[in-house]
Structure 1
Amino acid sequence: MKTIKYTYSLLISLVFLLFFASCKDDLSSLDTNKLSDIKVDTVGQSTLSVFQFDELVLDPKILGIGPNDQLTYEWTINLEPWSTEYITIGTEKKLTYEVGFVPTNLDRLHQIVLKIKDEKSGVTYIQDWPLMIRNGIGEGLVIVETYDNQNTDLSHIMSPLVTPDFNQEKIRTKIYSAANGTSIPGLVNSMIFTKLGSSNVLLGGTSNSLFAIKTLDYSLGDQNEKLFYAPQDSYGPEKLVNFVQNEIMIHKGKLYANWLQISKFGLPFPNNYNIPTILGINNRYDYPNISLNFYSEEKGHFAYQYSFATYGDRGMRPVPAATVPFNPNDLPNKQNIAAGISNQGEFIHILKDKSTQKYGLYILSAGGYDSENWVPTPSVPKKFMDLSNAPEIDQAIKFLILDNQQVILYATKTKIYAIMYSALNPAYSLRYTVSSGEEITALSVYLQADYPMVNRENFSRNGKQLILGTYNGTEGKVHVLPLINEGVANIDQANIKTYNGFGKILFTITQL
């Protein structure tokens, strides 16, 4: 316990010493007059510690209060360590405050100040605590959301469902705006977890910006021209994808690939293709024979690229012609609907015929390797399936191509369907229907942020649950849907977990 004393107005110039010199004991050496024996029991808390975005709860014991005392309370915190600018964070005896400031260094701490005023006598008593803010955001789920359909915020979930070796639940909402004082201008359309130099970041884009958010504290890092070697005419990727020792960006039909851990974005790959955002990128750790495969709507054929590396073959070429089961070199008048990769490296595409409106599944091999000439060989077509009978596929807003089983999931605004394509003919089945009044806004399969780029044993839930975002007009919800029965991708309805309290969810990603 420490006795709190007051000073008269002639000593007002010494107020800041109260804040920065742990003055609770030092006031005895000043010209002060002790009134009532009011004390604050700090319960051994000489220094406070809290994780960023957690709640700081303080309910100190106020001792020596007389029966006629009329006390009011004001809690304040300085805006930066050692700053003399304070904001009020509470006016009750018990403080409950969500701390959004960035983590502190050991030698630069914030300060919490409690002012207790006796309204009857006009005397103010002061107690202060140094506050250490620790980084509390680890591996988990990043929720990309909007509250006004114009700007973007980020929330974060850590739980045993999405965080290995973790037995708690920490849901932190609006952490980007809490850390930066404002939301992200515009709607984020793509985001990946990666490294920028030595820092872990979320690299994201809107229609006119490219930016990095430091996952240490969710503060905004480099953006736009700072991420390029030279200023660009415009910024704002349509798609961002991770690759081994590369970050892939699609912007205005051009493909960029640079390793941001050691460099910046340079010039796009020279080619005569307009690169779509729906494409297959094989980002396995073992450097696949073919890195990129996509359907060119303008040219009416599939194209591929062997490598993104500066020492590799980075030319884009049409996939050679074939006769069965389809000719990848001659498929005019199609529209890209979805694309993905199996864990065997196969390139899987869903295309829609612009004339007949029919949907088709096109699968190409992972490509081969000519060991005699030491060169990779192109993909060949493996399978075609007519998906015209898939229920409500013309209303689909999201597609998921599972890499660990021959199943494709697609979602309408209210339902999730499965396409099983392992047999001669596809089979279809309804898997999930959202609650009345809700609509699906986001759907992804849970994959750890470095999968499959790192050769390691992944979290047991990797690839075995869906992350579903729904919206009812006022609130967004995140649902974790466990997948069971490999090969048909049933959803374990009894063990669905729902998290409430978000904005309209645009999409979700994972971070380490």
Structure 2
Amino acid sequence: MKTIKFKYLYGLVSLFLVLFYACKDDLSSLDTNKLPNVIVDTVGNSKLTVFQFDKLTLDPKVNLETIKDRTFKYEWTINIEPSSTEYIVIGNQKKLDYQVSFVPTSIDRPHQLVLKITDEKSGLDYIQDWPLQIRNGIGEGIVVVETYDNTNTDISHIMSPLVTPDFNLEKIRYKIYSSVNGAPISGLVNSMVYTKLGANNVLLAGTNNNLLSIKTLDYSAGDQKEKLFYAPQSSYSTGFLGNVVQNDIYVSEGKIYSNWLQISKFGLPNANNYTIPNIIAINSRYDYPNIVLNFYSEDKGHFAYQPSFASYADRTMRPVPSSAGVFNPNQLPNKKNIAASVNNQGDFLHLLKDKTTNKYGLWILTAGGYDSENWVITPSNPKKYVDLSNAPEIDQATQFAFLDNQQTFFYATKTKIYAVIYAATNPSFGLRYTAAANEEITSLKMYYQADYPLVSRDFFSKNGKQLILGTYNGTEGKVHVLPIVNEGVGTIDQTNIKTYTGFGKILFTTTQL
């Protein structure tokens, strides 16, 4: 039996040798048609890192052992998510120049970047890949809320030494919301505030039919509408968004909601017998002020206040009592809300227009107090009335911005910015800025960091010392940073104005951390 097995084995070996030598000449013919060897040098860039919304530029060294008549084509691809097997083409040249809009990745879950080099003569492909980590490239700076079609909203972002502490570069990222989410926000955003939703830092934004959140880590869309509430609402029309210590504030169709979105959702609106206007003054100061909300009720014709938004405190909404002082806050009929603010003393400022005479005025009420003997909050009192009858072109004003540490505010028409100085008995007015020819002013806001005055800390040296202006010429929006000098009179340092271009029509600006 063993001898038979050996004979069969010997026969198989002999057959293999015959076949091998029979084919040898054919294989050797390839020596005269040698295939090129393509080598991609990855020294120095074996792992890649790029900031989100920055350009990824890569020009690898490619060594080609080739013949002159051979040509090569290049294709860059990247998987759409880490660990995904679905890839998209992002370049067709040897040098890659690609704007990255993917969301940031963790270190242990990078994207895969692939370069395929194809020998067009032989059809052979040579593959080189790199792990690509995408880092968060959006930090503290200006959020530019803009529209390109007067129907939908996009968001751009500015980081610069003027608005970003400890930062010496300038980074402008355009249309980042639509880049990340594939489309702009439906509708025009009318209000936005930086806050925390659960564990995520977000921009809470509202339109006339939506309330939505945007994660500032990567500008991806977060929870919206009913997901922000314990129960679905009949409407999500947004009139005002703000925040105070441990509470986020939302006004919708005359109702006011308050809850701490970091640990909860919005519940029922606060119980009261007022129709809440979209223009209100909230005291956001970190040290738990005696009164957090003050507003003018257009239907009741008087000022009202609320001590707290906290569930454990006094949330009753009351009229400001009558007074025989500089004005009677309880009898002030037929006015229209124009603007409202709070200064760093806690005073509530209300710019109102008389519906009959069209006369403008600034009504100022105190911050309120606390009666320690009876353990009750004492209401605001009238402090000052400022007659604005002589304010130039104030009837054409569309934008207002208040300084919280000076008795000064700004208002803007379509082409001009005026300052109002009201420290004296009679206010004074001054033209501070005129827009360039063919440019229209579309937004105006004081620059305050996103957590001011919600926390107690050392704020940026430019906090509260510059205006953020938006203009539009029909095709392009511009953001201008206007430094304010000469404290108390609102002078703008014209020679040091900084302008950023390339935006849509700017609806307004805000800040984020």
Q: With structure 1 as the length reference, what TM-score do the two structures score?
A: 0.92
Question: Is 1:37 aligned to residue 37 of structure 2?
Answer: yes
CA distance in structure 2 between the aligned counterparts of 1:35 and 1:482, rounded to whole angstroms: 66
Specify the alignment match of 2:134 in structure 1. 133
CA distance in structure 1 between the aligned counterparts of 2:304 and 2:120, rounded to whole angstroms: 78
Specify the alignment match of 1:191 in structure 2. 192
CA distance in structure 2 between the aligned counterparts of 1:385 and 1:112, rounded to whole angstroms: 64
TM superposition shift of 1:141: 1.1
Give the AA of the match of 2:36.
S
Specify the alignment match of 2:250 in structure 1. 249
Specify the alignment match of 1:374 in structure 2. 375
CA distance in structure 2 between the aligned counterparts of 1:436 and 1:68, rounded to whole angstroms: 59
Q: Per-residue displacement from partner, 1:321-355 (whole Å, max 9, x unpaired)?
A: 11221111111111111111110011111111111
Give the AA of the match of 1:176.
Y
Deviating 4+ runs (over 6 angstroms): none
Greater CA drift, 69-78 or 58-67: 58-67
Specify the alignment match of 1:12 in structure 2. none
CA distance in structure 2 between the aligned counterparts of 1:34 and 1:343, rounded to whole angstroms: 80
CA distance in structure 1 between the aligned counterparts of 2:226 and 2:47, rounded to whole angstroms: 42
Specify the alignment match of 2:147 in structure 1. 146
Unaligned runs of 5+ in 1: 1-32
CA distance in structure 1 between the aligned counterparts of 2:471 and 2:179, rounded to whole angstroms: 24
CA distance in structure 2 between the aligned counterparts of 1:69 and 1:433, rounded to whole angstroms: 63
TM superposition shift of 1:183: 1.2
Question: Is 1:429 aligned to residue 430 of structure 2?
Answer: yes
Greater CA drift, 106-115 or 378-387: 106-115
CA distance in structure 2 between the aligned counterparts of 1:133 and 1:263, rounded to whole angstroms: 31
CA distance in structure 2 between the aligned counterparts of 1:345 and 1:368, rounded to whole angstroms: 10
3-state SS in 2 of match to 1:275: coil
Matches within 5 A, 1:483-494: 483-494=484-495
3-state SS in 2 of match to 1:107: coil
TM superposition shift of 1:179: 1.2
Specify the alignment match of 2:476 in structure 1. 475
CA distance in structure 2 between the aligned counterparts of 1:401 and 1:81, rounded to whole angstroms: 47
CA distance in structure 1 between the aligned counterparts of 2:195 and 2:414, rounded to whole angstroms: 31
TM superposition shift of 1:453: 0.8
CA distance in structure 1 between the aligned counterparts of 2:372 and 2:83, rounded to whole angstroms: 65
Give the AA of the match of 1:228.
F
CA distance in structure 2 between the aligned counterparts of 1:228 and 1:370, rounded to whole angstroms: 36
CA distance in structure 1 between the aligned counterparts of 2:441 and 2:72, rounded to whole angstroms: 51
Give the AA of the match of 1:214.
K
CA distance in structure 1 between the aligned counterparts of 2:70 and 2:142, rounded to whole angstroms: 50
Question: Is 1:353 aligned to residue 354 of structure 2?
Answer: yes
TM superposition shift of 1:373: 1.2
3-state SS in 1 of match to 2:37: coil
CA distance in structure 2 between the aligned counterparts of 1:57 and 1:225, rounded to whole angstroms: 42
3-state SS in 2 of match to 1:45: coil
Question: Is 1:176 aligned to residue 177 of structure 2?
Answer: yes
TM superposition shift of 1:39: 1.7
Give the AA of the match of 1:351.
L
Specify the alignment match of 1:4 in structure 2. none
Specify the alignment match of 1:53 in structure 2. 53
Give the AA of the match of 1:133.
I
TM superposition shift of 1:484: 0.6
Specify the alignment match of 2:503 in structure 1. 502
3-state SS in 2 of match to 1:38: strand
TM superposition shift of 1:170: 1.2
Q: Per-residue displacement from partner, 1:364-422 (whole Å, max 9, x unpaired)?
A: 11112212212121111111121011011000000112101000100001110000000
CA distance in structure 2 between the aligned counterparts of 1:358 and 1:220, rounded to whole angstroms: 43
CA distance in structure 2 between the aligned counterparts of 1:233 and 1:413, rounded to whole angstroms: 36
Specify the alignment match of 1:388 in structure 2. 389
Q: Per-residue displacement from partner, 1:53-103 (whole Å, max 9, x unpaired)?
A: 111000112222543332222111111112222111111111110100011
CA distance in structure 1 between the aligned counterparts of 2:278 and 2:466, rounded to whole angstroms: 25
Give the AA of the match of 1:47.
K
Question: Is 1:287 aligned to residue 307 of structure 2?
Answer: no
TM superposition shift of 1:34: 7.3
Specify the alignment match of 1:406 in structure 2. 407
Kindly name which structure, 1 or 2, has the bigger radius of gyration based on alpha carbons.
2
Q: Per-residue displacement from partner, 1:428-479 (whole Å, max 9, x unpaired)?
A: 0000011111111111111011100101111111000111111111111111
CA distance in structure 1 between the aligned counterparts of 2:119 and 2:315, rounded to whole angstroms: 75
Specify the alignment match of 1:28 in structure 2. none
CA distance in structure 2 between the aligned counterparts of 1:225 and 1:115, rounded to whole angstroms: 46
Give the AA of the match of 1:93.
K
Q: Per-residue displacement from partner, 1:26-59 (whole Å, max 9, x unpaired)?
A: xxxxxxx972132222232111111111110001
Q: Per-residue displacement from partner, 1:120-169 (whole Å, max 9, x unpaired)?
A: 33332221111111111111111111111111111111111111111111
Specify the alignment match of 1:235 in structure 2. 236
Q: Per-residue displacement from partner, 1:91-116 (whole Å, max 9, x unpaired)?
A: 11111101000111222221111122
Q: With structure 2 as the length reference, what TM-score do the two structures score?
A: 0.92
Q: Per-residue displacement from partner, 1:219-268 (whole Å, max 9, x unpaired)?
A: 11111111111111121321100111000000110111100111100011
CA distance in structure 2 between the aligned counterparts of 1:69 and 1:391, rounded to whole angstroms: 75
Give the AA of the match of 2:224.
Q
Unaligned runs of 5+ in 2: 1-32
- Counterparts in 2 of 1:355 and 1:134: CA distance versus 1, 3 Å: same
Specify the alignment match of 1:216 in structure 2. 217
Give the AA of the match of 1:63.
N
TM superposition shift of 1:175: 1.0
Matches within 5 A, 1:252-401: 252-401=253-402
TM superposition shift of 1:117: 2.1
CA RMSD of aligned residues (A): 1.3
3-state SS in 1 of match to 2:180: helix
